[in-house]
């Protein structure tokens, strides 16, 4: 008769596997932190590039006053409460950058400040185009203040030709 001994504790082989798993997890965690640090550096350099002025496309340059005004109204409604909106933390953006870098995916939402700067530059370019076309334009500082969603922004700044005419009539 042969007796088989059953061990109730981990064997030496199990300890080695456990240590290997811990080492692999530590390496993965270190890799994740490295990716987050690298991604935050990329985000910083990208935000410096976004401060350039927006250039209108040929189609946007051809738009009439009504279409440009409509595009601006939609963008203003989207941006108006940006400062009061809760933003994702830099850690969550870093994790998204790391995961996107490893597994692929979209960059959308990775840096809301950069997106806001791009949208603001586009609004400013549209507003300059309205002025160039002698249309009513927007007081961007005023219309970008938080307001109720149903309060549709409208252009309030007179076109250059009408502003000059009004100034000429004033004694």
CB-CB contact of 39 with 101 (8 Å) = yes
pLDDT tens for the 171 residues of the chain, in order: 555 555 555 555 555 555 556 555 554 554 554 544 444 444 333 344 445 689 999 999 999 999 999 999 999 999 987 877 656 666 666 776 777 777 777 665 667 888 899 999 999 999 999 999 999 999 999 999 999 889 999 999 999 888 776 655 555
pLDDT at res. 95:
74
- Using the Cα atoms of residue 6, residue 12, residue 17 and residue 18 in order, give the sign of their dihedral: positive
Domain ranges in the chain are: 25-42+59-154
Distances (CA, A) of 5 to 8, 11, 19, 131, 132: 10, 13, 25, 90, 91
**Could you tell me which residues are beta bridge partners of residue 137?**
157
| pTM for the full predicted model | 0.59
C-beta neighbour count of 156 within 10 angstroms = 11
pLDDT at res. 36:
47
Distance (Å, whole) CA 133 – CA 98: 45
pLDDT at res. 30:
47
């Amino acid at each position: 008769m042969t007796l088989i001994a059953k061990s109730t504790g981990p064997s030496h082989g199990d300890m080695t596997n456990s240590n290997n798993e811990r080492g692999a997890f530590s390496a993965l965690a270190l890799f994740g932190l490295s990716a987050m640090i690298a991604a935050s550096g990329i985000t910083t350099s990208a935000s410096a590039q976004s401060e350039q002025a927006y250039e209108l496309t040929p189609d946007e340059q051809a738009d009439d006053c009504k279409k440009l005004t409509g595009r601006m109204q939609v963008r203003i409604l989207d941006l108006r409460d940006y400062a009061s909106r809760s933003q994702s933390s830099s850690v969550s953006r870093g994790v998204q950058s790391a995961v996107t870098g490893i597994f692929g995916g979209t960059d959308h939402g990775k840096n809301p400040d950069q997106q806001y700067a791009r949208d603001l530059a586009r609004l400013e370019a549209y507003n300059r185009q309205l002025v160039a076309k002698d249309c009513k334009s927007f007081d961007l500082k005023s219309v970008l203040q938080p307001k109720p969603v149903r309060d549709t922004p409208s252009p309030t700044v007179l076109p250059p030709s009408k502003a000059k005419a009004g100034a000429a009539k004033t004694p």
